[in-house]
Amino acid sequence: MVAGGAAPPRRPRAGDPDAEELAVHESDADVVVLGAGPAGEVAAGRLGEAGLDVVLIEPRLVGGECSYYGCMPSKALVRPVELLDEVARVPGVRELLSGTIDPQVVLDRRDEVIHELDDDAQLPWLEERDVRLVRGHGRLAGELVVEVLEDADAERPAERITARRAVLLATGSRPAIPPVPGLADACGWTNREATTAETVPGQLVVVGGGPIGAELALAWSSLGAEVTLLEGSPRLLVKEEQYAGEQVAAGLRAHGVDVRVGARIASASRDGERVAVTLEDGEVIAGDELLVATGRHPNSDGLGLDSVGVAADEHGFVATDDALRVGGRDWLYAVGDLNGRALLTHQGKRQARVAADRILGYATAALGEHEPDGLTSPRVTFTEPQVAAVGHTLASAREAGIDARAIDVASDGNAGASFVGKGAGGTTRFVIDPAAGVLVGATFVGAGVAEQLHAATIAVAGRVPLDVLDQAVPAFPTRNEVWLRLAEKRPRD
Ligand SMILES: Cc1cc2nc3c(=O)[nH]c(=O)nc-3n(C[C@H](O)[C@H](O)[C@H](O)COP(=O)(O)OP(=O)(O)OC[C@H]3O[C@@H](n4cnc5c(N)ncnc54)[C@H](O)[C@@H]3O)c2cc1C
Ligand SMILES: NC(=O)c1ccc[n+]([C@@H]2O[C@H](COP(=O)([O-])OP(=O)(O)OC[C@H]3O[C@@H](n4cnc5c(N)ncnc54)[C@H](O)[C@@H]3O)[C@@H](O)[C@H]2O)c1
């Protein structure tokens, strides 16, 4: 790695009253980035590629939550069951199926995907961009000053870095455990353990029916665990269209998961090898392991925000403007999960590109006025069926004051879809703003619909007039023919 601008440490001399202070290694850089998850890595890489002298601080693994405990292992775990389902729907190959998924082979493949929790493979990418990696916990210590500590609890910093241009915060998030009596102690698995476990529990209790809970319930059930999924709200995936959560619940049940919605938990306990969750109605659900997947908490504590006069919001997120600046300061940026706009890798990376461009001097770089962001970001839940959505749901469009209309079609009701397997099911909803003549949202529920999302993202982000969308004819016989129903059913002047 290239040291890029680091000054040699000043050595304390005998009898020097400030000896301890002088032992701190002083250095400087153009930009200091805190956190080497996907957002921080992308920002550091872009800035380094542009010739800036960049320091990237990371206490754990370069690649962050996504590479080792999030997106990548969870997708490695659900891909076999997704493929198995598709093969089972297609005559001619389904006859080849015998036996069940081999959990050890799936777990071995997962280990390959997460590089056995070793980030060596990520380092050349940084080295090629002359980014200096410093292992440790970073915190602000005044304007443009960052201290690096061996760990968050260390008494004094090992290094103090002065940034000439900017500091970019990308410290991500960690699991949030709700204050339910006994839950924190009983919880053996958060996403960290649920994505890296080496054995399949006999009975797994999952609390939380958002994307993490739903995906991992499917994954572990497909590997042989008897899974109970407890969601406090009346449906799974509460941020999506109502029907999406219902269709995912039906899909999970078909895969053997005991899905309970409206299941509010009162307490939890662990007794040796067994866990128990008591619901508010008194029912006790017991298991061999307990996964808590009830949302995320931003890593904003211990970041030294007060040293520069800014504060996190009441949930701990570090708010930004559309240029990703914190508190209107031109030198301080927050990207990725930390700012709470959208807890999604691709959105964090987009923010990182915008913030990097700002730092590089592109004065107009900012998220776009109509850019899908926050709850309208493009998003996919990788269950069976999958839920791929962008922009508004019908409800959120109406809440936003749009006199929106929904056009619902069967996701498997076209020739292209029939080859993926008859009876794959699922509903696609297009949400249109008839007054503006544009698509403001789309939700695809069905087998393998993830790859269909980007066309909708382009239509929504580009506010492509519906008249023009009519001219974008999907090829026959592909599953994108679902777009023809929008052309056929939408109102015309
Ligand atoms: C099980 C699971 C599945 C997911 N699946 C998907 C998916 O399919 N698609 C998707 O888009 N998103 C998915 N996500 C969300 C995605 O993982 C996050 O949105 C993404 O990792 C956020 O990136 P980030 O760089 O902001 O933060 P993180 O990935 O959290 O990285 C932040 C980094 O900062 C470091 N750090 C923390 N404090 C400090 C400090 N003080 N100084 C220096 N460094 C620090 C951390 O060690 C960490 O490495 C999933 C998440 C989970 C948990
Ligand atoms: N495929 C993907 O893109 C993907 C996958 C996983 C995670 N993520 C990201 O990570 C974020 C966090 O995911 P998540 O699933 O942890 O959070 P979430 O906030 O989306 O869902 C958490 C769920 O837990 C429920 N819950 C909370 N407290 C409860 C309690 N005491 N009892 C029962 N249920 C309770 C909530 O009602 C909610 O439905 C997501 O919002 C998403 O942005 C994305």
What is the per-residue pLDDT for 15? Answer: 46
Q: Is residue 442 part of a domain?
A: yes
Residues 137 and 253 in one domain: no
Of 294, 312, 332, which one is at a domain's C-terminal end? 294
Q: DSSP string spanning 365-394?
A: ----TT---GGGS-EEE-SSSEEEEEE--H
What is the per-residue pLDDT for 12? Answer: 43
Q: What is the pLDDT of residues 90-131, one digit of tens each?
A: 999 999 999 899 999 999 999 999 999 999 999 999 999 999
What is the per-residue pLDDT for 421? Answer: 78
What is the per-residue pLDDT for 20? Answer: 53
Q: DSSP string spanning 100-126?
A: ---HHHHHHHHHHHTGGG--GGGHHHH
Q: Is residue 78 part of a domain?
A: no
What is the per-residue pLDDT for 493? Answer: 73
Mean confidence (pLDDT) of the chain: 95
Of 294, 316, 334, which one is at a domain's C-terminal end? 294
Does residue 216 carry a pLDDT above 60? Answer: yes
Residues 324 and 451 in one domain: no
Count the domains in the chain: 3
Atom of ligand 1 nearest to the CA of 337: 26
Q: Is the CB of 39 under 6 A from ligand 1?
A: yes
Q: What is the residue whose two structure tokens read 């990520």?
A: 122
- For residue 209 the two structure tokens come to 């029916």
Residues 474 and 442 in one domain: yes
Q: Is residue 333 part of a domain?
A: yes
Which residue CA neighbors atom 2 of ligand 1 most closely? 70
What range does the domain containing 302 cover?
A: 25-63+119-174+298-359
Residues 199 and 271 in one domain: yes
Residues 187 and 248 in one domain: yes
Q: Is residue 1 part of a domain?
A: no
Encode burial over 363-373: b for 16+ CB neighbours within 10 A, e otherwise.
eebbbeeebbb
Give whole-number Cα distances, 484 to 170, 215, 319, 430, in Å: 41, 30, 40, 11
Of 248, 272, 294, which one is at a domain's C-terminal end? 294
HSE, side-chain direction, 13 A CA sphere, residue 437 = 9
Residues 210 and 265 in one domain: yes
Neighbours of 427 (CB within 10 A): 20
Residues 400 and 450 in one domain: yes
Q: What is the pLDDT of residues 436-474, one digit of tens each?
A: 999 999 999 999 999 999 999 999 999 999 999 999 999
Q: What is the pLDDT of residues 176-192, one digit of tens each?
A: 999 999 999 999 999 99
Residue 128 CA to ligand 2 center (angstroms) comes to 36
Which residue CA neighbors atom 42 of ligand 2 most closely? 343
Contacts of 146 (CB under 8 A, 6+ apart): 32, 34, 55, 57, 138, 139, 140, 160, 161, 163, 167
CA 393 to chain centre: 19
Give the whole-angstrom CA distance, residue 261 versus residue 214.
Answer: 12
Average pLDDT in the 33-42 region? 98
Atom of ligand 1 nearest to the CA of 38: 25
Q: Is residue 3 part of a domain?
A: no
Which residue CA neighbors atom 6 of ligand 1 most closely? 71
Does residue 27 carry a pLDDT above 80? Answer: yes
Residues 306 and 165 in one domain: yes
Does residue 141 carry a pLDDT above 50? Answer: yes
What is the per-residue pLDDT for 10? Answer: 41
Q: What is the pLDDT of residues 314-365, one digit of tens each?
A: 999 999 999 999 999 999 999 999 999 999 999 999 999 999 999 999 999 9
Q: Is residue 420 part of a domain?
A: yes
Average pLDDT in the 186-210 region? 98
Residues 47 and 152 in one domain: yes
Q: Is residue 32 part of a domain?
A: yes
- Percentage of residues in the chain with pLDDT exceeding 70? 96
Q: What's the CATH code of the domain at 266?
A: 3.50.50.60
Inter-residue contact 89 to 424 (CB < 8 Å):
yes
Residue 36 CA to ligand 1 center (angstroms) comes to 9
Atom of ligand 2 nearest to the CA of 175: 16
Atom of ligand 1 nearest to the CA of 64: 49
Q: How confident is the model at residue 22 (pLDDT cuts 50, 70, 90)?
A: low
Residue 176 CA to ligand 2 center (angstroms) comes to 10
**Would you give the DSSP letter of residue 328?**
T
Average pLDDT in the 234-249 region? 98
Does residue 2 carry a pLDDT above 60? Answer: no
Give the whole-angstrom CA distance, residue 486 versus residue 470.
Answer: 8
- For residue 432 the two structure tokens come to 């249109």
Q: 377 among the known binding-site residues?
A: no
Residues 337 and 413 in one domain: no
Nearest Cα neighbor of 25 from 136, 130, 107, 112 is 136
Q: What is the pLDDT of residues 265-276, one digit of tens each?
A: 999 999 999 999
What is the per-residue pLDDT for 241? Answer: 98
Q: 171 among the known binding-site residues?
A: yes
Atom of ligand 1 nearest to the CA of 342: 19
Inter-residue contact 288 to 19 (CB < 8 Å):
no
Residues 200 and 320 in one domain: no
Residue 357 CA to ligand 1 center (angstroms) comes to 22
Q: Is residue 43 part of a domain?
A: yes
Q: Which ligand is nearest to the CA of 176?
A: 2
* Angle (CA) 417 214 185, round 5°: 170
- For residue 324 the two structure tokens come to 């990703």
Q: DSSP string spanning 2-21?
A: ---SPPPPPPP-TT-TTHHH
Q: 295 among the known binding-site residues?
A: yes
Q: 214 among the known binding-site residues?
A: yes
Does residue 1 carry a pLDDT above 80? Answer: no
Residues 332 and 245 in one domain: no
Q: Is the CB of 40 under 6 A from ligand 1?
A: yes
SS3 144: coil
| Residues framing ligand 2 (Cβ under 6 A) | 178, 180, 207-213, 215, 230-233, 238, 264-265, 293-296, 343-344, 379-382
Q: How confident is the model at residue 7 (pLDDT cuts 50, 70, 90)?
A: very low
What is the per-residue pLDDT for 19? Answer: 54
SS3 200: coil
Q: How confident is the model at residue 422 (pLDDT cuts 50, 70, 90)?
A: confident
Q: Which ligand is nearest to the CA of 195?
A: 1
Name beta bridge partners: 289: 204
What is the per-residue pLDDT for 168? Answer: 99
- For residue 235 the two structure tokens come to 């449906």
Does residue 8 carry a pLDDT above 70? Answer: no
